Amino acid sequence: MITPHQIKENQQILTYIYRADETMSAMGYTEHSTAHVCRVAHFAEKILSTLDYPKRSCELAWIAGYMHDIGNVINRIDHAQSGAVMAFRILDNLGMPADEIATICSAIGNHDEHTAYPVNPVAAALILADKTDVRRSRVRTKDPAQFDIHDRVNYAVEKASTTITKEHGVVLDLTIDTSISPVLDYFEIFMGRMVLCRKAAAKLDLNFQLIINGQSVL
């Protein structure tokens, strides 16, 4: 059985994560380093654990979260599909059973909002964990003169918390400095992601709620 610890200690996977983040940096995208993938991995696992899914399903969610962005090493375009193919080869060579590989690769291949769909619980957990990672520290440059709209929106987030309970579902609560970025800009960039989060939550029989500056907006 391939464990999350083995995946995290795998130098091949770690190299792809580092190099993928280098690619994203060169293209001007926000941080997609180990900080991002570890956050996603832990929260994806937590979502399924909170909902009492089997321990192995939770571990598969962690693995999918940790590996989900390795396809960026090839190109941002279709990185979900590229990453799924890369993950297949790595996990197959490690000896992971085919049914577990299929679950992970389906999740990775369905996490980008342009082509995504919560095809299974692991995919749903990955989507929710990935799309709710909104924070100021993901902005690479601290010079507002160099910000594009993605930088402004992320940098405007003064506080972000995502909670998961059986009673209230998934709640993303943001405090945004509207002098840096109006709330409308957030929706311009993230509306597709938030709608996808609602679909992912529904796959897990949960509600998804977005709160911005104390107001429920979704």
Q: With H, G, I as helix, E, B as strand and everything else as coil, classify residue 218.
A: coil
**The pLDDT of residue 161 is above 90:** yes
Asked whether residue 149 carries a pLDDT value surpassing 90, the answer given is no
Give residue-wise pLDDT tens across range 18-73. 999 999 999 988 999 999 999 999 999 999 999 999 999 999 999 999 999 999 99
Amino acid 194: pLDDT: 93
Give the count of beta carbons closer than 10 Å to the beta carbon of residue 86. Answer: 22
pLDDT at 128 over 90: yes
For 163-185, write each residue's pLDDT tens digit.
Answer: 999 999 999 999 999 999 999 99
Structural Rg of the chain based on CA atoms: 17
Count of CB atoms within 10 A of residue 3's CB? 11
- By DSSP bridging, strand 208-212 and strand 169-176 are parallel
Look at residue 107 and tell me whether its pLDDT is greater than 90. Answer: yes
Main-chain dihedrals φ then ψ at residue 184, nearest 5 degrees? -60, -35
DSSP three-state, residue 76 = coil
Q: At residue 1, does pLDDT exceed 90?
A: yes
Q: Is 166 left (phi over 0), alpha (psi -120 to 50) or beta?
A: alpha
Q: What is the pLDDT of residue 143?
A: 86
Round the average pLDDT of the chain to a whole number and report it: 95
Distance of CA 102 to the CA centre of its chain: 19
Residue 150: pLDDT band by 50, 70, 90 thresholds? confident
